[in-house]
Chain A
Amino acid sequence: MIGLLLRDLNLAVRAGGGFGLGLAFFLIFASLVPFGVGPETGVLRVIAPGILWLGALFACLLSLDRIFQLDWEDGSLDLLATSPLPLEGVAAIKALAHWITTGLPLVALAPVLGLLLNLPGPAFVWLVGSLAVGTPALSAIGTFGAALTVGIKRGGLLLSLLVLPLYVPTLIFGALTVARGAAGVDAMTPLAMLAGITLATLATLPFAAAAALRVNLR
């Protein structure tokens, strides 16, 4: 399992620049927002929590089709399916690799973008915390979506259509945590809900993803 994780990480870092792309997208997305809504700091301060969470969500979404597509094309997914490693474990490792290559860098970059968007001071802790807690759920849900659509040619748009409605609860609680942190009220409740969603998706969705992979590999 660790070997698979390291292989995926190596591939992401060395081949095709998949590692930095999500991060660059997040940066560009956040810097385009002021052009769209105007540079008033008051407006930006209000919408910053939602924008940052949306940016993280779309950055995750963009890299989802890489999770299984390349392995599917060159046949290594068949090898993984016939290996002694259970397919559920493969799905979980793929989700973890996706999180390390996209979610974790987003968490690190988010405070900088928070500065750009004039996020209020006390919200920074909650921004980093909610992204750290919430992005694993995005990766787990996304892995499930990628497993569903892996056999479909040009499945990218379909993948977004399937995955985005599933992202709703995560987005609500994530953005709410930051917004409450920015307003200076108690943000622990939505953060706890977010953690609950993350734990539940991590525990259950690898099984659903593995079921979908088995169908697609038939």
Chain B
Amino acid sequence: MNWDIILDSAGLYLSGLRLTLGLTLASLLFSFLLAVPLALAKWSGGAVTRAIISGYTLLFRGTPLLIQLFLIYFGLAQFELLRESWLWPWLSSPLVCVLLAFVLNSAAYSTEIFAAGLAHLPRGEIEAARAFGMSAWVRTRRIYLPAMLTRSLPLYGNEAVMLMHATSLASTVTLMEITGVARNLTLNYYIQFEPYVTAGLLYLILTLSLVGLLHWAERRWAGYLVQR
């Protein structure tokens, strides 16, 4: 066993942990901001809006995230036109490409989760809100959004954990998150077991923290949905 190599690389793992955490939180934030309006638009919009949003979620939920990441990172780089455009300084950065892939992918899943949450909203609540004379904006803010978010919290929690695990793909485009650090150690020291076990343990700790946070949020905001 070569645990001394792991101990010597503690600093690498720490910076990997920071990057994994940063990627997860940033992707969750941006995908949430994208998914909420998309879910509302899909639920309340016309046939064309619904078709466009469904097309988007089908595309990103129907293909593997790794393919999406490779298409954005390597695929787009193939086009001379793009390489000479103002977009290139952004798209040449692996961090931007990774975030773009994770946000678009996660937003697709989150949109469907939130839209399903809205679909389960009892008609009575909407009618009551209308009867009170609430405007569309007030209804959205006070009825639809809270109902949508609380009802989809358990499913959204799964998506958040899945997204955190998916950040391990970032190492394929040179970002040294936890998996990248482990891969690098296997390639330089020819040991496989210790680096990946350490990486697995770090992911486990992150997952348990995230799950704890989500459980707390569920009790705090979605407690009223529990059948008594």
A and B together in one complex: no
User: What is B's interface to A at a CB cutoff of 8 Å?
Assistant: none
User: What is A's interface to B at a CB cutoff of 8 Å?
Assistant: none
